[in-house]
Amino acid sequence: MSTASSPGATGPGNAAVWHEPAVSREQRWAHHHVHGATVWLTGLSGSGKSTIADALSRELLQRSVLGYVLDADNLRHGLNANLGFTDADRTENVRRVGEVARLFADAGVVAIVPIISPFAADRARVRVAHEGAGLDFVEVHVAASLAECERRDTKGMYGKVRRGEMSGLSGVDAPYEAPTSPDVVVARDGESVTESVRRVLEHLGQLGVLGTADH
């Protein structure tokens, strides 16, 4: 048996070839009256990303728009179970989640991604991948301040870092590069979850994501 045909073999003869699906995106979206997109919620731990994501998914359901929350912690139980929290692993975590979100959006789902994603370059690569595929990518900065996030300390991580029991918390002893030109900014100065969701929905409406399902 030749090496090229063996399972797991690599090399030019074993390169992946893109397979165009028999059913086009336009056909899928038209049949189900949907418009896929990705809503990427970035912010510090405890900023309210997951709370806003869940509220957004419920509001989309009320509008007969299919949304799915790709929770970063949940994905670390499966798809990303082999990744830690080094800078390289964080970058790979974002890449994988971004690829899954792009597939969901292509299928016609509004992929909602609440993930710290601390590095601007990683988020930019996800945007470029979406835009290259002709898909809407909405970067939402959940801009609750560090002081507010630490006051909430929903997962107890800020306390652990301050006590020296853990390290590597984005925005404290690890980098967090806040977006400089996000599509939407929410959760600033005590803004309510309801208002934050309204801002995101308004932007999605402007993109036409909600249009076909509203009729």
- Is the model more confident about 182 or about 10? 182
- The CATH number of domain 23-144+176-214 is 3.40.50.300: yes
What is the CB-side half-sphere exposure of residue 187 using CA atoms within 13 A?
Answer: 23
pLDDT the model gives residue 9: 56
Q: Where are the domains of the chain?
A: 23-144+176-214
Q: Residues in the chain, how many?
A: 215
- Give the active site residue among 117, 167, 170, 192: 117
Residue-wise pLDDT tens digits, 102-160: 999 999 999 999 999 999 999 999 999 999 999 999 999 999 999 999 999 988 999 99
Q: Does the pLDDT value for residue 101 go beyond 70?
A: yes
Q: Are 113 and 101 in contact (CB under 8 A)?
A: yes
What is the sign, positive or negative, of the torsion defined by CA atoms of 116, 117, 119, 125?
negative
Is residue 68 within 8 Å of residue 111, measured between CB atoms? yes
117 annotated active-site = yes
The pTM of the full predicted model, rounded to 2 decimals, is: 0.86
